[in-house]
Structure formats: structure tokens, C-alpha cells
Structure 1
Amino acid sequence: MLEISQPAPDFTLPVTGGDAVTLSALQGKAVVLYFYPRDDTPGCTKESIGFSEHLDAFKDAGALVFGISRDTMAKHDKFTAKHDLTVPLLADVDGTVTESYGVWVEKNMYGKKSMGIERATYLIDAQGNIANIWRKVKVPGHVEEVLEAVRAL
């Protein structure tokens, strides 16, 4: 289980727009990684729209924001276009990153157990260390709470 002040696990993933993002190459800026279960579901849509609406405020505070799920780039592109998202989305199709961040967990919905992504957000400081962790995120008010934490860095 990852903890605050530990180095954030490095990764390289494809990002909407056609390139790839390598976390270690972003040192010098704060980075917000929000993990979400699936594109185009109600909670994930609200969360992604929220981060998109506040993206300029995060940039002004010196932070980059990325959403991560195990959806494909094709699904991310459709999701982005459908909801006019501006937040970049990363595709962790093989699940390596979701597992390294401890968000690939057993879920229990209506008595049925399955594996899936726990909604979680990691704030990584400019040195590449974990500054804050939000687990089992509830969407209302979450984006604003993360933005305040970025401003407090």
C-alpha cells in the first residue's frame, strides 16, 4: 500500500491527443492522478467534467491533472469528445499502473464480487513524492478539495 511521502511509482502511458506521458519526466510540477472505474458512467463523467472545468485553476496552481482508467484510447477519445473534456486521460489497458497504485481492488456490488478500480486520487509533489491520497472518493466536492491541497503545497 502506498503512503504519503513515498516516491510515486513511475509509468509511461498513452494519453488522449496521441502522445504518451511519463510521470518521472514531469518532475518540477505537481501532478494529480485521479483513478476512475470506467468511461461514460455517471460518477466518472461527473468527476472528469469537474476536473475539466477546474483545469485552468490547477494549471495556475502549478499542477498537471490526468485521469486514469483501464479503458482503451478509443473509448477515452469517444468519452472526451462526447463530454468536451479538457482533462487528459491515460489508458492503463493492462492494469500495471492501477495495480502499482493499489487501486485495483475487489468490489462488492449487490452481493456480487468483482475486480475493479477503486475511485482514488493521488497528489504528487514537484519532487515526485506522494503528497496526499484520497481513497474511496465521493465525487461531490472532491475536485475542489484536491485543488485546495494543490494550492497548499
Structure 2
Amino acid sequence: MSERLQPGDTAPAFTLPDADGRQVSLADFAGRKVIVYFYPAALTPGCTKQACDFTDNLGVLADAGYEVIGVSPDKPEKLAKFREQEDLKVTLVGDPSKETLTAYGAFGEKQMYGRTVTGVIRSTIVVDEQGAVERALYNVRATGHVAKLLKDLKIPTD
């Protein structure tokens, strides 16, 4: 079981390929707030809902000073298909080795349909301008999560 991050922890550094195969690093966003969200798989119903919710609220988040990065174990080709099919605007990166997922506590044992399985734990980590964890949310729901996050971060939506 990977360790879960706590507020005040330094967010683990990462460099992962995006949907176009370009390398994206957390360091690229130094001095800006970043929402790093972890989801199990592109092109699945819950993950699509979550990615679309982030895309729909990207302007509101950007106005409040937040960047958004979605991380899954998918390869760039699948991420590109996901982005095109759903017209996503969020930055999607792939972590097939699951090293970043594990470093963020977003990979491990979870309950699914009453059974314990090992996989991606749907999680959202808010990283501040200095690279420290501001919020660490684990086992979040795909539906309604972005609205709740906006409320928790006190970001006005109108």
C-alpha cells in the first residue's frame, strides 16, 4: 500500500508523456497552483464524466489560478483518442509504470464491488505555488467531484 500524501508534504516530482507524447513535468508549473487528479482509465464512463467536468470548469479554475493535470496509467495514444473523442481541454498524462500514481498514494488496494482489488484510487491532489500539497483527497467520486472541489476551494462559479 502506498503512503497517502498529507497537506504540507512536498508534492512528488514527475515527468510523464502527454496525449501528444510531449513530456510534462510538475516543475513546469512552478509558481502556479496545480490540481493533479488521478483516474483509473481513459474512455470509461466515470473517468469521462470527471474529465468532462474538469474541462467544463477549466476557465473558472484558471481564473482562480489553477492548472489541471489528469494522470492515468494509459499510454499517450489512448489519451489522444480520449481527448479527441470527448473534446477534452485538460492536460492528460500517462503513467504506465504507475510510479507517479504510487508516489501520490493513488495506486493500491481499494474496494470494488465488495472485493478488495489493486488499482488506481481516484484521487485529487491540490499543489500550491511552492510545490507543497495543499489538499489530498482520496477515494473521490467521479460524479460531482469537481463541483465539490470548487466549493471546498471557495472558487465562485458564477
TM-score computed with the length of structure 1 as normaliser: 0.91
Q: CA 1:150/1:132 → structure 2, altered by over 3 Å: closer, same or farther?
A: farther
Question: How is 1:54-65 mapped onto 2 (pairs within 5 angstroms)?
Answer: 54-65=57-68
2:85 aligned partner: 82
Question: How is 1:6-25 mapped onto 2 (pairs within 5 angstroms)?
Answer: 6-25=9-28
Where do 5+ consecutive residues of structure 1 fail to align?
Answer: none
Cα offset for 1:111?
A: 5.2
User: Which residue, 70, 75, 81 being the options, matches 1:72?
Assistant: 75
1:114 aligned partner: 117
Cα offset for 1:144?
A: 2.1
Where do 5+ consecutive residues of structure 2 fail to align?
Answer: none
The whole-number CA distance in structure 2 between the counterparts of 1:106 and 1:133 is: 17
Q: CA 1:109/1:74 → structure 2, altered by over 3 Å: closer, same or farther?
A: same
* SS of residue matched to 1:78: helix
Residue type of the partner of 2:59? D
* RMSD of equivalent CA atoms: 1.7
The whole-number CA distance in structure 1 between the counterparts of 2:31 and 2:60 is: 18
1:27-82 superposed Cα distances (whole Å, 9 cap, x missing partner): 11000001001111111010000001111111111111011000110110111111
> Aligned pair 1:32/2:32, yes or no?
no
The whole-number CA distance in structure 1 between the counterparts of 2:12 and 2:50 is: 23
**Deviates further, 100-109 or 84-93:** 100-109
1:50 aligned partner: 53
TM-score computed with the length of structure 2 as normaliser: 0.89
**Deviates further, 14-23 or 46-55:** 14-23
User: Which residue, 84, 87, 91 being the options, matches 2:94?
Assistant: 91
Residue type of the partner of 2:77? A
The whole-number CA distance in structure 2 between the counterparts of 1:28 and 1:147 is: 20
Could you tell me the percent identity over the aligned residues? 38
> Aligned pair 1:135/2:138, yes or no?
yes
The whole-number CA distance in structure 2 between the counterparts of 1:83 and 1:116 is: 24
Aligned partners of 2:19 and 2:77 also within 8 Å: no
The whole-number CA distance in structure 2 between the counterparts of 1:150 and 1:92 is: 30
Cα offset for 1:26?
A: 1.2
Alignment length (residue pairs): 152
* Deviation beyond 4 Å, 4+ runs, structure 1: none
